A and B are shown apart, each in its own frame.
Chain A
């Protein structure tokens, strides 16, 4: 087994490292901690943070790549997540099958034991395979699995929370019930822990149920080539997260630097930067992306030897997409930062610094940068959901991520052809929709809380 480090993995870890550094830095500065305390005190903030973390955990697990058979060119690149879900990846059917179905979605000629051939819906190889008569047994089996999964999840929760509640009860001298009540319902102190614990519990229970069901059925059905859609949707999480975060990472330095330079120095620097971003934002973004992706494809076709595996090719295309999306989207933030800097440079503390003879770069880094960071943060969080959605749109016009890569965009794109079928194949679309919707909704709600926390006019972040 050899570990494999893809480009996007590397950047993701750099990003996580950066976030960890920021957290460590923020812990020591009161003014940086205050808005986050507001986020932690908001129920919506806590609940969405739990959901987002669940996505992030799956995304990170899916970013730890390795080759199980020691780095031969033919060897598949797998991720820790693939390894964890085990069979789900290999439970491949022949073609479409509906969620929880035990039969294929297309009739086939089946040879009966007595030698006759009938055209019928054949049984699936994995979905409901354990049942002898699915028509009668399936309902009970599903119920049994739901119960089992939920029970296991509840046991796990009890194992986690009962000792905690017991310790709280002992410490505060209250009954166990009261301690549990305090953990899940009644909020004490400034952090909205009940929202956190409740969301956690809901998440764990639904995960338990899904795991139990996925072991015996295709929860979201299978796609054209018979792959489990639930597995695809889970694999797409990494793609969505990377598009949403790496793009920002790519554009941030340029937007930040150029924005505050233009705003602080004015004059010809300002003219130049404004000219640059006005020109850039006048080019239709889709056109630029299409051209860039085409160029990359040509390059990869000509240098096929450099890309030894499918995963590396797909990864490079993903990275390239992030870069090109970043290049087309930095102008908005840059413009915003320029405006804010224009305002800040006239403020008296900047003037006072100039009166002390503080040099330009020092003013920028000590006075301007910390005071525009809230804008940067708010726009990162707000942009995230937009970028996740943009990926789906780009895949739809075939200039998104590599077609072999799992992404919600690709799922929707392939499902679109089947919408015309009678009866309709709806589950790919539905799965992509559910997963994207939950992520984007959580991200948007979280962004709202963050925006409120950092908005000085609301004065709430001060508390």
Chain B
């Protein structure tokens, strides 16, 4: 292989108090070759972003590089004076951040933002940056670039903004692109677009890409080589094939087995016990030893040295494994529950938000967030509501609970129409249905101790007699979700993300609900923590016969936990059926595209990705006819004129598409 483009040698980044520093990056060695994508894989807090910031010298004020070299060619970036570093940053080193919404200046035209970078780093075009900016926008696949160049960031969708970010990074003609979770904030279909774009640009420009990600799927689709980080250190470096055939480090293997999926249904997901050790400790042993199934005495006595397994495969472990990751003999979750009688039936639910305009604030149209959704959930069953952001799935959940007032339709819970209940009757009914939110930190009042948070529902519903009885109940609930009993006196900020979500679950369980609306309950969590929470959901369903309405965008979670699936697009359900029917035999073109866009970990089962162009239209102004037709690869003339009827394909499997109706004619 040629000379490495970037060589990182023993990089150390410390944060905070010098007497007790957090060693966020503790001695990293990496080589990056031209034209190669190296993925830095790890869970939150493992130091992967700090590595990138260390290379770019963009550390936060409390951070500093305490040792090491970062060699770009022959130049040590850490020794450059800041004025020269400015030329490198944005020039030879481009960077893309996670959140496209906040990485662009909202009051500057996108053309000017690109031109700024061209003027600084591309002397050949500095005099006339506009033409070059148009060229770049074209290169990143923005349609009609000559017009778009004068638009402001708010006029672009999320995927477009990320493309503009890529264009800005490219404007400096970089040799190395650092992409810090570039697609985490994007929907799967948009993610597929952006990842495809990165791959194409890399080929065209011989770019080296340092991709920072926590998502095994994304890494599997894009990386050439993979470096796994754990607690500030690299633990394994190898190429993609080797890694996905069977990683050697027990931590990497655990990450695989913690992934939810169809084949693991009905069983418990494997979890990593314990937590990542705090990085301000001084380590004298393997950092993973306490959580490792294979750790021996020797692991606890010395830090493991690098071990070379040949072919560039290195691992920092005394007992490396090999072979495919088997989902070990995890305890079975028991029998699949049979379909029971209907608990909740939603008929033609509509939630419209009026748009006020003009001086008199008259209603000039509606945002049809939910536009005629019908669902059915049986007792002790899980219905997954799938869709991209903005499709109205969260609004459906809140509309059912009447946290947002529905505009029309029926919500029959046990045969009683919730949408027509009086406030008093509704307040009593609320004990039967609960909600769990995506961000556990935001869903707890930071100024209340956990005990009071959990007791909230008990108080409101008048359950329990007196203070002591409630305290006993709270203690039992906390134990039920696997938290220590002394948690009740502590405050939410003292807990980790996974523990916080457990508290939220305990709070919901307090009133003995029969249905829980779970609004993306695991998407803010790391894979290993997600596995714990998904296991908990499974157990609780069995023990308490709970029904879940599981709102998510993550197909692997759906395939693991759901019995039925409903796919939403722009306020309407386009397809629903049992999980096998929808995931194995998708009938609607949108479902097909959605499923194909999901990055898959298993390289063998790589399918043809159906790339959807463009973004979801605004629900204030949905397209005429079938909502999906502007993006549909198989759109026909009829799709532009009328919305298709729902067709029953098999018992329980329905979809709304002209293709299916046509076939039957």
Contacts and interface: CB of A to CB of B under 8 A. Distances in A.
B445 A357 contact: no
B546 to A, nearest CB: 15
B442 interface: yes
A367 interface: yes
Interface residues of A, number: 22
A362 B445 CA distance: 13
B445 to A, nearest CB: 5
Contact of A31 (B398, B443, B446): B446
Interface in A418-442: none
Given A356-B460, A357-B428, A358-B456, A349 B491 contact: no
Contact of B447 (A31, A352, A353): A31
Contacts of A366: 445, 448
A356 B456 contact: yes
Contacts of A358: 456, 459-460
A31 B439 CA distance: 21
Given A348-B437, A356-B461, A362-B460, A31 B491 contact: yes
Contacts, number: 67
A397 B149 CA distance: 57
Contacts of A347: 442-443
A72 to B, nearest CB: 54
B401 interface: yes
B460 A371 contact: no
A351 B461 contact: no
B525 interface: no
B637 interface: no
Interface string A85-99: 000000000000000
A130 B439 CA distance: 77
Contacts of A354: 403
Contacts of B448: 366, 370
Contacts of B457: 356
B460 A357 contact: yes
A410 B426 CA distance: 62
Interface string A344-385: 000111011111111100100011001100000000000000
B195 to A, nearest CB: 31
A31 B426 CA distance: 34
Interface string B417-439: 00000000011101101110111
B481 to A, nearest CB: 16
A284 to B, nearest CB: 27
A32 B491 CA distance: 12
B351 to A, nearest CB: 15
Contact of B446 (A351, A352, A371): A371
Interface centre among A351, A362, A371 (most CB of B within 10 A): A351
A462 B460 contact: no
Given A358-B460, A370-B447, A371-B445, A351 B431 contact: no
A306 interface: no
A353 B426 contact: no
Given A356-B457, A356-B511, A358-B460, A349 B443 contact: yes
B507 interface: yes
A114 interface: no
Contacts of A29: 447
A357 B427 contact: yes
Contacts of B445: 349, 366-367, 370-371
B430 A30 contact: no
Contacts of B433: 355
A355 B428 contact: no
A355 B404 CA distance: 11
A351 B456 CA distance: 12
Contacts of B511: 356
Interface in A290-311: none
Contacts of A349: 442-445
A356 to B, nearest CB: 4
Contacts of B443: 347-349, 351-352
A349 B439 CA distance: 10
Query: What is the predominant secondary structure among interface residues of chain B facing chain A?
Result: mixed
Interface string B92-105: 00000000000000
Q: How large is the interface on B (under 10, 10 to 19, 20 to 34, 35 or more residues)?
A: 20 to 34
B200 interface: no
B294 interface: no
Contacts of A31: 446-447, 491
Contacts of A32: 447
B437 A352 contact: yes
A223 B443 CA distance: 63
Contacts of B442: 347-349
B203 interface: no
A352 B435 contact: yes
B20 interface: no
Contact of B430 (A348, A357, A370, A371): A357
A41 to B, nearest CB: 14
Nearest to A373: B447
Nearest to B430: A357
B491 A355 contact: no
B624 interface: no
A274 to B, nearest CB: 13
B493 interface: yes
B24 to A, nearest CB: 17
Contacts of A352: 435, 437, 443, 456, 504, 507
Interface string B480-513: 0000000000010100000000001001000100
Contacts of B434: 355-356
A381 B435 CA distance: 39
Interface in A329-343: none
Contacts of B438: 348
A347 B492 CA distance: 15
B401 A355 contact: yes
B45 to A, nearest CB: 16
Contacts of B491: 30-31
A434 B428 CA distance: 63
A427 to B, nearest CB: 48
Given A30-B491, A348-B442, A362-B460, A355 B435 contact: yes
Nearest to A348: B443
A381 to B, nearest CB: 20
A409 B403 CA distance: 54
Nearest to A353: B456
A348 B439 contact: yes
Nearest to A344: B445
A315 B644 CA distance: 79
Contacts of B427: 357, 359
A355 B428 CA distance: 11
A462 B491 CA distance: 12
B216 to A, nearest CB: 28
B185 to A, nearest CB: 19
A30 B403 CA distance: 32
Contacts of A30: 491
A348 B439 CA distance: 8
B10 to A, nearest CB: 30
B610 to A, nearest CB: 34
B507 A462 contact: no
B534 to A, nearest CB: 20
Interface in B432-476: 433-435, 437-439, 442-448, 456-457, 459-461
B261 to A, nearest CB: 29
Given A30-B491, A348-B439, A355 B403 contact: yes
A351 B443 CA distance: 8
14 contacts: A31-B491, A348-B443, A351-B437, A354-B403, A355-B430, A356-B430, A356-B456, A356-B461, A357-B428, A357-B461, A366-B448, A367-B445, A371-B445, A462-B493
Given A349-B443, A353-B456, A366-B445, 10 more contacts: A29-B447, A30-B491, A32-B447, A351-B403, A351-B443, A355-B403, A356-B434, A357-B427, A357-B430, A358-B460
Interface of A: 29-32, 347-349, 351-359, 362, 366-367, 370-371, 462
What 5 pairs between A and B have smallest CB-CB spacing?
A348-B443, A357-B427, A357-B430, A348-B437, A356-B457
